[in-house]
Amino acid sequence: MNKGIFHRSELLLGRERMQLMATKKVIIFGIGGVGSWCAESLVRTGIQNLTIVDSDRVCITNVNRQLMATCKTVGQVKTEALRNRLLEINPKAQITAIQQIFDKDTCNNFNLEQYDFIIDAIDSLTNKMLLIHMATRTKALLFSSFGAALKIDATRIKVAEFWNALGCPLGSKLRKMMRRRKLFPARKFMVVYSDEVLENLGANEQCGTEKCLCPKSVSGSGNPDLADHEWCSLKAQINGSLAHITATFGNFLAGLVIKSVYNELNTATKG
């Protein structure tokens, strides 16, 4: 079955690169509108060792842009919902689902050294800064996403080195925070971003349904401390975002991983 799944990938990339890709270990922090699409793109292309990390449950307001979010999955742990989806694509893939927050208290739980690629799709600036600080001190390649909200023009999405990705308010705030706290990345890395910034035109209010903001009635979490966890009510501001933008951000991140594997074999052959 696997040969059939990846036939079109192998036609383009070749057998050696597909075999190399199958050995790579990838971890994605944050599997919302950006990270979920990144995960699916990687698994569909041939990545077979993937760890997905997120503390949240599927909320009804996630349905407009998050890959595993449907009216049927509302209330489910996001990592489990996405893992189930990815295993439907490739049942032989090794998908590790971790329902946990990445922060100063948990950051040493993830053994970042074991990965070839680290994907940052975290919303929290403090936790994003910490992940960048730690990831750039490992052998892994880090790829990061800046803000994907308040945008409608996918043609303005691009890739640049962290310090050169200008025009994104989230990126600007992150760099200022790093300078203020003197917590800098150890090396250069690439980010996906857009310099488009629109305004919310709708009223910022709850959706009014029982299933809004990850229902507290749902239990069965793999992590008892996060059984009722949700981020929405903790955010100072919630911005509008659309699937075609968040998915493009996620696919750009996946593309950076695939391109790196592609170029790795080129380099080895030349060497």
Q: Beta 157-161 vs 141-145: how paired, if at all?
A: unpaired
The C-alpha angle with vertex 31 and arms to 87 and 13, in degrees rounded to 5, equals 60
Task: Look up residue 216 and give its two tokens.
Answer: 């507290």
Helix (H, G, I), strand (E, B) or coil at 14: coil
Q: What's the distance, CA 48 to chain centroid?
A: 16
Burial 105-125 (b: 16+ CB within 10 A, else e): eeeeebebeebbbbbbbbbbe
Report DSSP state, residue 146: -
CB atoms within 10 A of CB 6: 20
Helix (H) or strand (E) holding 206, with range, is: none
Q: Please, which residues have CB within 8 angstroms of residue 76's CB and are 6 or more apart in sequence? A: 57, 58, 218
pTM reported for the whole predicted model:
0.90
- Domains of the chain by start residue, with CATH: 2-7+24-197+217-270 (3.40.50.720)
pLDDT in tens, the chain (271 residues): 577 999 999 999 999 999 999 999 999 999 999 999 999 999 999 999 999 999 999 999 999 999 999 999 999 999 999 999 999 999 999 999 999 999 999 999 999 999 999 999 999 999 999 999 999 999 999 999 999 999 999 999 999 999 999 999 999 999 999 999 999 999 999 999 999 999 999 876 655 444 444 444 343 444 445 545 455 555 557 899 999 999 999 999 999 999 999 999 876 656 5
